[in-house]
Amino acid sequence: MPRRPLVFTALGLALWGAFVAWSDWSGAEKLKQGGLEGRNGPLALVVTLNFAPEAFHLTRLQQAGRMLGVQGRTVRLADVSAADARALAREYWIGSVRRDVP
């Protein structure tokens, strides 16, 4: 069994694992700051990106919930499940996830 693929794969997995762990942690942090910790059920969110969203991001956000509107860097979503909210918070290009007060 050649060594180089093993070392490379191991390194890759380690880096990826570290990234996943960091994403989980920072996602939980974002939810905490957004007052969404531990909340279930359909949520209404205000998602703020670090930049103006592109088609890629809008598509991704629409997978999580119903898009109510886009203003500058913020997007309002409705009917987002708790799991989807957690998934969104983990994305590193999302700055903050907060409760939407309509």
Partner 1 sequence: MRRRAALTGVLGLIALLAAWQISVPLVGLEPYYYPSPHDVALAFWDLLRKGILPVDIADSLGRYGLGVATGTVLGVAMGLLIGLNRAVDRMLGPLINFLFAIVEVAWIPIFVIWWGYGLKTILVALSYVVFFPVLYNTILGVRMVPQVLVHAVRSLGAGPRQVITEVVLPAALPNIITGFRVGAGFAFRGLVFAEVIAAKTGVGYLIFAGASDHQTDRTIVGMVVMGAMWLLIDTMYLKPFERATVERWGQVTAAEMRE
Footprint on this chain of partner 1 (rule: CB under 8 A): 1-5, 8, 50-51, 54, 56-57, 91-93
- 69-to-32, 46, 61, 86, 100 alpha-carbon distances in Å: 24, 10, 11, 20, 12
Q: How far is CA 9 from CA 6, 46, 85, in A?
A: 5, 38, 31
> How far apart are CB 27 and partner 1 at their closest, in Å?
13
Of 1 and 101, the one with the shorter C-beta distance to partner 1 is 1
The answer to whether 18 and 26 have CB atoms below 8 angstroms apart is no
15 or 83: whose CB is closer to partner 1? 15
CB of 51 vs partner 1, minimal distance in Å: 6
Tell me the closest approach of the beta carbon of residue 101 to partner 1, in angstroms.
27
